[in-house]
Amino acid sequence: MFEFVRDHTNTLTVRHLDFYYEEVLRLKEKLAEPNHAHLILQLAKHQQSHLLKAGTEFNAGKDSKGNAVVYRLNEDFAANNAKVVALKSVNHTPDKLYAFPVTNSGDGRGAELTSPIKQWHPFTGKIESENLAQVGFAITSHYLLLSEGQRKIMLNLSFDANSGSEKISQQDFCQAFDFFLTGKKGWVQAKLDINLNLTPSFTVKVPLLFDGSQPPIIPLKSDIHGNGLPEGLPTLKAVLKQDNTGR
């Protein structure tokens, strides 16, 4: 008789937990889910690409009970020889942009990793002036092939009025950039020509002046001007100012 009472008493803890989880908390048991794994595939040297169809099986040996373990591909996968050859990042602080050409390095610029496990931050490098990003845009045109004398350039920029953005002040826009043209010995800075309009608009005029003392504007040459821009035509480059005023 005592043995039955003892066995029943020994189940009290389990029954209490079952009551608490099922009746008080109303938790439900989840359905069984299939195991999953991530595979790394490498093509044979003579292959450029190969398509693996969804449902392709991968043998993973046997489980503890001797049953075969098989994984199936859940979607089509096209293997190819593409590789990540460089990691670059940009860090946007409230008032400045910083660029890091070698993200996976000690300083974001290629220095050796000195941490014990060689870790690196994917987005944040040293917030220093030498890491300020050079952000802007460039325009190439044969109309910029101006060799001498007083040269005036009027750049008209139209912005989409339906984009939801606010109108832009000509003064704010022009003073936010430095403008350069391709000269014989490198980039030469152009001057803003006239007083700037304060009235906001979706069309901004950028009046530039290249006076007679400045060199001829020539087609861009990569060995002189760099920047990875295409050669063959004279180029105007606008670079966002990132000075101490926070612009």
Residues 73 and 119 placed together within one structural domain of the fold: no
Residue 97 belongs to a domain: yes
- Nearest of 164, 172, 168 to residue 200 by alpha carbon: 168
Residues 148 and 227 placed together within one structural domain of the fold: yes
Strand partners, 200: 169
Question: Which domain covers residue 13, as residue numbers?
Answer: 1-83
Residue 63 belongs to a domain: yes
Residue 62 belongs to a domain: yes
Q: pTM for the whole thing?
A: 0.60
Number of domains in the chain: 3
Query: Last residue of some domain: 41, 59, 83?
Result: 83
Residues 1 and 65 placed together within one structural domain of the fold: yes
Q: How confident is the model at residue 245 (pLDDT cuts 50, 70, 90)?
A: very low
**Residue pLDDT, tens place only, 213-225:** 899 999 999 889 9
Residues 123 and 141 placed together within one structural domain of the fold: no
Q: How many CB atoms sit inside 10 A of residue 208's CB?
A: 19
**Residue pLDDT, tens place only, 143-170:** 999 988 888 999 888 888 777 778 888 8
Q: What is the residue type of 10?
A: N
Residues 57 and 145 placed together within one structural domain of the fold: no
Q: How confident is the model at residue 246 (pLDDT cuts 50, 70, 90)?
A: very low
